[in-house]
Amino acid sequence: MGCGPVSDRDDFSQKVKEALARRVGFACSNPSCRQLTVGPEEGGEGAFSVGEAAHITGAAPGGPRYDPDLTHEQRSCIDNGIWLCAKCATLVDKDREHYPAGRLREWREWAERGARLALEGVEAPGVVDRQNDMELIRFYAQCFDREAFQQPFMGERSVTDFDRAIEDTITAINTGCLRSRDGHVLAEAKGKVYLTNPDWRDKMDTVVDILRAIRSRYAEAIKSKEVYVASPQPDGQQADWIQPELGAWMDATRAQALRLFGELCEAVNVPAPVFPRPHWPF
């Protein structure tokens, strides 16, 4: 793939932008999003896009993740790009520490791999590898073994950490890579697209959809002031204020996701996540 023309911002050429979008099936490369970014115009023959060809390292000095060691040509090449929906493109630039260049490159790799799998198909129709699927369900059970799925939302000391834990869980289920908060790989398997039992795969799709709904509701709550994010204290504690109605919704929705996943755990004789854990008071 050729590089884009040199400019003050080292922007991508139209050819590079189109290639980035096509290589991931026009879906956002964020594994916790995967929103389709193109659709038909109402009442016409055209189409519109809500996607962006985002720079992994900044297009200009001062930009997010800017790397001064790159040449103009390297900054405008496809290797420095990732296709994202408009919301995620803004997110990764606003929270630069949480979304370093290495993480964005992993997203691109996972998204391209997922697009190819969706195109080719993981298994021939009707072929179910039960042993493979059992191992994957056991792995996904590890992904839920975190505080965000163990205590009521009203008991969260940091709702920001809660949101990121939900994001990390979605990413682990979609990609098969479970990481700690500092980015250390805890376990690796395969993403849910590798489930060969179509009913199990549909259930995991629904589980992830519910988790995405939790993140969307959290974002709305921040905007509407239903939750107040406190500043970290000297002792490291951070007690956030949460509207009770929001807490009840979060608890009920998480319980719904865990009940559905629990059905798969029961099918493979794996202990299902319990929410809330007995030691967390209501």
Residue 122 pLDDT: 53
Average pLDDT over residues 252-257: 95
Confidence label for 237 from pLDDT (cuts 50, 70 and 90): low
- How many Å separate Cα 41 from the centre of its chain? 27
Taking the C-alpha atoms of residue 260 and residue 149, their distance in angstroms, rounded to an integer, is 14
Phi first, then psi, for residue 271 (nearest 5°) are: -55, 130
Half-sphere exposure of 58 (CA within 13 A, CB side): 14
The pTM of this model reads 0.71
Percent of the chain with pLDDT over 70: 89
Taking the C-alpha atoms of residue 215 and residue 103, their distance in angstroms, rounded to an integer, is 19
pLDDT tens string 22-74: 999 999 999 888 889 998 888 777 888 899 999 999 999 999 999 999 999 99
3-state SS, residue 247: helix
List the beta bridge partners of residue 85: 51
3-state SS, residue 156: coil
> Is 253 a residue whose pLDDT tops 50?
yes
Sign, CA dihedral 187-188-192-196, equals negative
CB 74 within 8 A of CB 7: no
Confidence label for 280 from pLDDT (cuts 50, 70 and 90): low
Taking the C-alpha atoms of residue 95 and residue 37, their distance in angstroms, rounded to an integer, is 22
E strand or H helix at 160: helix 159-175
> Is 103 a residue whose pLDDT tops 70?
yes
Burial call 210-231: b when 16+ CB within 10 Å, e when fewer? bbbebbeebeebeeeebbeeee
E strand or H helix at 104: helix 101-120
Residue 124 pLDDT: 46
pLDDT tens string 173-227: 998 988 877 778 888 898 998 898 989 999 999 999 999 999 999 999 988 989 8
| Of 141, 130, 151, 149, nearest in space to 172 by CA | 141
User: Among 20-34, 117-131, 146-160, where is mean pLDDT lowest?
Assistant: 117-131
> Is 238 a residue whose pLDDT tops 70?
no
pLDDT tens string 91-101: 999 888 888 99
Residue 51 pLDDT: 93
Half-sphere exposure of 33 (CA within 13 A, CB side): 22
Taking the C-alpha atoms of residue 142 and residue 158, their distance in angstroms, rounded to an integer, is 22
Residue 282 pLDDT: 45
3-state SS, residue 228: strand
CB 30 within 8 A of CB 88: yes
